[in-house]
Structure 1
Amino acid sequence: MGDGREIFGIVVLSVQVSLTASLIGMAIGAPLGGWICTLRGRARRIWLAIFSALLAVPTVVVGLIVYILLSRSGPLGWLDILFTPTAIVIAQVIITLPVITVFSHRACAGQWAEHGDQIRLDIRARWRQVTELMRMARAGLVTAFLVAFGRAISEVGAVMIVGGNIRGSTRVMTTAITLETRQGNFNVAVALGVILVAISFLVTVLTWWVTRERGQRTNTA
């Protein structure tokens, strides 16, 4: 593999699947993080402990579980989506969900501690309380999304298991780097590595900038 168009396709696919997984994870994890903030006492601690523990689950284990579920003999085998970009997205959603939930909780916790009593007085419905809390903590939620995207796009183990690293179909940057290195095509591997590092660096800079802006606004307030 050395065609520039193929490398471009690999980069585009990597960004697409990771972005899709992060957006889906955000749609689920951000409300979950806000909802956990609205709980009281032991319930809050239990849910937070569960998602914090899920952060430590090896990603290859996630890939194995998704593989078993989507294989022909698995309960979801009828979907016939194993070794497709959709399978990669599913694995990355599971990987990013605890990240987004925990970081969203951190973003919302300060707002809830400061404004929670007022929110409870003004808003009866729990889902509307969570919506308002997320609106107040939106800068922190952006940080949660960027961290999740950075983790998703750099993932290799689970992606290799459920995607199969199929040329022109499920080959993303991390799996392509692994393959090209094994085959001795170091020029291609290094090129993809530079692109991956550049994307990761950009995500890191954006995360730092959002965190810095949020800190400045908090200090000003």
Structure 2
Amino acid sequence: MHEFAAAFATALRLIGTLDPDLVEIVGLSLRVSLSAVLAAALVGLPLGAALAAFRFPGRRVVVVALNAMMGLPPVVVGLVLYLLLSRSGPFGALGLLFTPTAMIAAQAVLITPIVAALTRQTVEDLLVEYDDLLRVLGTGPFHTIATLLMEARVSLATTVLAGFGRASAEVGAVMIVGGNIDHVTRVMTTAIALETSKGDLPLALGLGLILIVLSLAVNAAVSIIRDSARGSFV
């Protein structure tokens, strides 16, 4: 118990003094996760809206596949990307393996189906109200998608935040493609796993506390956005 208390106190000191190693790890984590969320939003939001708004052959198959991909095993995603980015892989010449770019790609692959599937459901619910109006106005495909995304922006903001929460907690895929290299690809989740295995509890606890605070902040933001949206319709 005494050892845990001492480790916890040291973790708080590391946070309070802005320990350089801790700040570097947190900064890289945020950069990787935010970049992955941006990439996922750019692909997932219009994809989900298009699947909700348009009917085409094979749409049901695409929707089922998209929903299934929400549960992609992170280690499998990491393994596939590792094979693609390794020297013998098709993209090996790019030299992206064991770089933050590879980690961003891994997180983006994992959260894009989540963003797209949740967007599809949100926009599909919205179409119950807007479908007839859009048909009467004769809006084109791009205008239709843009209109639906704009009208659903509050709900979609919570979707993007959910994607960020998923990305920031990822460890398996980023460990495989990033390699957990000190000062290069070490993020909060991989550092916690490594430092715990080494017995360096203060740094692991410090990073864990920051990760918990980050998760709470994301959930608080989701609640605030939802409450604001409800208030605007009262």
What TM-score bracket applies, with the shorter chain setting the length? over 0.9
Is residue 2:108 matched to residue 1:66?
no
Q: Retained in 2: the 8 A contact 1:21–1:93?
A: yes
Q: Report the Cα distance in structure 2 between the residues aligned to 1:155 and 1:131, rounded to whole angstroms.
A: 31
Identity %: 39
Q: Which residue matches 1:33?
A: 48
Q: Which residue matches 2:159?
A: 144
Q: Which residue matches 2:174?
A: 159
Q: Report the Cα distance in structure 2 between the residues aligned to 1:120 and 1:15, rounded to whole angstroms.
A: 42
Tell me: CA distance 1:68–1:106, structure 2 relative to 1, closer, same or farther (3 Å).
same
Q: Report the Cα distance in structure 2 between the residues aligned to 1:140 and 1:75, rounded to whole angstroms.
A: 38
Q: Which residue matches 1:184?
A: 199
Q: Which moved more, 1:75-84 or 1:206-215?
A: 206-215
Cα deviation, residue 43, structure 1: 4.4
Consecutive unaligned residues of structure 1, counting only runs of 5 or more, are none
Corresponding pairs, count? 218
The structure whose Rg is larger is: 2
How does 1:40-189 map onto structure 2 within 5 Å?
A: 40=55, 43-189=58-204
Q: Retained in 1: the 8 A contact 2:53–2:123?
A: no
Q: Which residue matches 2:29?
A: 14
Consecutive unaligned residues of structure 2, counting only runs of 5 or more, are 1-13
TM-score scaled by structure 1?
0.94
Q: Which moved more, 1:102-111 or 1:28-37?
A: 102-111
Q: Which moved more, 1:164-173 or 1:116-125?
A: 116-125
Is residue 2:224 matched to residue 1:209?
yes
Cα deviation, residue 67, structure 1: 0.5
SS at match of 2:194: helix
TM-score scaled by structure 2?
0.89
What is the RMSD computed on CA atoms of the aligned residues? Answer: 1.6
* Per-residue CA distance 1:73-130 (angstroms, 9 max, x = gap): 0001011010000000000110010110011112212221110121122143212110
* Per-residue CA distance 1:13-43 (angstroms, 9 max, x = gap): 0001100000110010000111011123874
Q: Retained in 2: the 8 A contact 1:37–1:44?
A: no
